Structure 1
Amino acid sequence: MQIGLAVGDVRGPATLAAVVDQVQVAADSGFATAWASQALGGDALTALAVAGAGADIAVGTAVVPVPQRHPMMLAGQALTVQAAVAGRLTVGVGVGVGAMVSGMFGLSTDRPVQRMREYLTVLGPLLRRETVDYHGEMLTAVGAVMVPGDVPAPSVLLAAMGPRMVRMAGELSDGTVTWMTGPKALADHIVPVITEAAADAGKASPRIVAGLPVCVTDAVGDVRARIAEQFALAAQVPEYRATLDREGVAGPQDVAIVGNDIEVARALARFRDAGVTEFMAAPYGTAEEQNRTIELLAELVRTTEK
């Protein structure tokens, strides 16, 4: 199992310069990928284009919610970033949190699986610079994305938690990326379902990227309390609540990886044993806590490579 590092807003408010620094640290420390999530701050893909162009590391989004971005627009942006980072981009996409998509953008959230199926059906060919002429129930896309260059199409991962979305990730994408999902839900539900779906579709074994807050600390109770407060929304919205229930936990504070060096290493091993191909660590806490966490994770990366 590889270890990647989350950068940007998921670790706290970050300027573009800070994201550039975080990506460089990830590259210098030997992490597999620098992952940026699209929230309500800066644009994740733009930040990765700037930061990834000067750092020798794979980069990816985990994830970009797609309701606000037509696939032709996202394909054009992704191919531009792919050129900037010399072919090292992974595009993680998701349907977004329904309450935010409807409440903030006024967009429909009905039939999310069908919407994503149509989106992925169009996005893949567009990223391969193919012309599409698609008229679906929920999406129309006609034309091609004219981005010059010879870089390959970026890999596409789908944020998936429910059974139908997980199966679709295996069928129509290169794998899945999860957030606030523990090792039990991954081992019992997500990994076997997506692996079977990929095999049925005649595809290679899927990439399975699992993301969680990680904090190396001696003040476990205090850190878990802060995580419970900061990520309280994840315990309330249906998208995450179902996955937390599969894990048998109350909230994000219970799946986050928090503890001393030994406890964190053991927790990561459980994700490896669950079938995760890359763990996306989001260093949590103060600058001192995050630095301590990155130091341990970097040491685990070096140990794994030996």
Structure 2
Amino acid sequence: MTSLGVVYRPQLPPERLRPIARAADEAGLDELWLWEDCFLESGIATASAALAWTERLHVGVGLLPVPLRNVALTAMEVATLHRLFPGRVTVGIGHGLQEWMGQAGARVESPVTLLREYATALRALLRGERVSTQGRYVRLDDVALEWPPLAPVPVLAGAVGPRSLRLTGEVADGTVIDARVTPEGLRAALDLVSEGRRESGRTGAWPVVVYVLAATGPGARDRVAAEAERSGPAFQGVGAAGAAEEIAGVVRGLAVAGATTVVLQPTADEPDPEGFVRFAAEQVRPLVPR
């Protein structure tokens, strides 16, 4: 099954979230994804609000930058969301953009080590375990959640480089990949994820969330091209622009390559965010096999 989502870009002010979340819910969009980009908006606060304002919409947070967040606090927040809104939320974690981590005084020498320690501790806490660990970065002394989730909670992890992609397969429960990937690049990335899964003896279904730059309406191709140009050389030649069938074709290609959720990432200058989520739900979704 392939789910279709849309990103609520944090370049929009927080007060825009409610009408966009409501529009997504009413239109039947599968998922709305949120970012915790520095120094824009909180991922957990926006997720809580979006879930409370909607009835059926699934909300994803991708990603929470782990250098900024104590793992016990993240476990408390994630567990609370799952108790309040069971089955309606997915949370992913990641290294965070290193420049931003430096600005916040949170940059670490080994982001891969931190993510490994963090994901391991977070998953254990969310399983209701009592955790003591003295790692290089993550240190807990007899910590257990009083209100752990009532059902298993997947923790996804985002990655770009080969070491991090392998790590997601080893220590997370799914992988989040940003909008620079083509179907061919996604297959190569998932080969690395599979290496990590094999090393840790992990089998079974594996959620794969992939973002894709997207725009429709007048000037759509120019807006996607400009966004890719601003994002850097790695984003050149990616994205989806045009009518519903053109965008659905890109989504289907990523699904065949291994994506279980494709999240349309509107350009930062999208003129009608509410209209975009309705377009995704009402025109693109019917063209993507479930």
> Could you tell me the TM-score, scaled by structure 2's length?
0.88
Q: What corresponds to 1:106 in structure 2?
A: 105
1:166 to 1:292, Cα distance in 2 relative to 1, 3 A: closer
- Out of 269, 284, 306, which is 2:252 matched to? 269
1:193 to 1:74, Cα distance in 2 relative to 1, 3 A: same
The whole-number CA distance in structure 2 between the counterparts of 1:288 and 1:88 is 25
1:288 to 1:21, Cα distance in 2 relative to 1, 3 A: closer
The whole-number CA distance in structure 1 between the counterparts of 2:192 and 2:225 is 33
Percent of counterpart pairs with the same letter? 23
The whole-number CA distance in structure 2 between the counterparts of 1:297 and 1:254 is 25
| Superposed displacement of residue 303, structure 1 | 4.1
| Superposed displacement of residue 283, structure 1 | 2.6
3-state SS of the aligned residue for 2:263?
Answer: strand
1:287 to 1:124, Cα distance in 2 relative to 1, 3 A: same
Q: What corresponds to 2:196 in structure 1?
A: 197
3-state SS of the aligned residue for 2:67?
Answer: coil
3-state SS of the aligned residue for 2:275?
Answer: helix
1:291 to 1:253, Cα distance in 2 relative to 1, 3 A: farther
**Over the residues paired in the alignment, what is the CA RMSD in angstroms?**
2.4
| Superposed displacement of residue 88, structure 1 | 2.1
Q: What corresponds to 1:79 in structure 2?
A: 79
3-state SS of the aligned residue for 1:255?
Answer: coil
The whole-number CA distance in structure 1 between the counterparts of 2:13 and 2:178 is 20
Q: What corresponds to 2:176 in structure 1?
A: 177
The whole-number CA distance in structure 1 between the counterparts of 2:141 and 2:31 is 33
Does structure 2 conserve the Cα–Cα contact (< 8 Å) formed by 1:211 and 1:280? yes
3-state SS of the aligned residue for 1:287?
Answer: coil
1:70 to 1:153, Cα distance in 2 relative to 1, 3 A: farther
1:219 to 1:108, Cα distance in 2 relative to 1, 3 A: closer
Work out the number of aligned pairs and report it.
284
| Superposed displacement of residue 228, structure 1 | 4.1
The whole-number CA distance in structure 2 between the counterparts of 1:195 and 1:30 is 33
1:221 to 1:212, Cα distance in 2 relative to 1, 3 A: closer
Amino acid at match of 2:27: S
Does structure 2 conserve the Cα–Cα contact (< 8 Å) formed by 1:283 and 1:294? no
Q: Which runs of 5+ in 2 are unaligned?
A: none
| Superposed displacement of residue 157, structure 1 | 0.6
Q: What corresponds to 1:88 in structure 2?
A: 88
3-state SS of the aligned residue for 2:202?
Answer: coil
| Superposed displacement of residue 225, structure 1 | 4.7
The whole-number CA distance in structure 1 between the counterparts of 2:21 and 2:277 is 15
1:177 to 1:298, Cα distance in 2 relative to 1, 3 A: farther
Q: Greater RCO between the two (CA within 8 Å, min separation 6)?
A: 2
Q: Which runs of 5+ in 1 are unaligned?
A: 236-249
The C-alpha deviation readout for 1:242-296, integer Å capped at 9, x for no partner, is xxxxxxxx35353222233332222222211211111011233433476256414
Q: What corresponds to 1:31 in structure 2?
A: 29
| Superposed displacement of residue 117, structure 1 | 0.7
Residues 1-306 of structure 1 mapped to structure 2, 5 A cutoff:
1-9=2-10, 12-16=11-15, 18-39=16-37, 40-53=39-52, 54-102=54-102, 104-148=103-147, 151-183=150-182, 184-187=184-187, 189-200=188-199, 201-228=201-228, 232=230, 234-235=231-232, 250-252=233-235, 254-284=237-267, 285-288=269-272, 291-292=275-276, 294-304=278-288
Does structure 2 conserve the Cα–Cα contact (< 8 Å) formed by 1:171 and 1:198? yes
> Could you tell me the TM-score, scaled by structure 1's length?
0.84
The whole-number CA distance in structure 2 between the counterparts of 1:168 and 1:83 is 28
1:293 to 1:48, Cα distance in 2 relative to 1, 3 A: closer
Amino acid at match of 2:193: I
| Superposed displacement of residue 2, structure 1 | 1.5
1:123 to 1:150, Cα distance in 2 relative to 1, 3 A: closer
| Superposed displacement of residue 85, structure 1 | 1.6
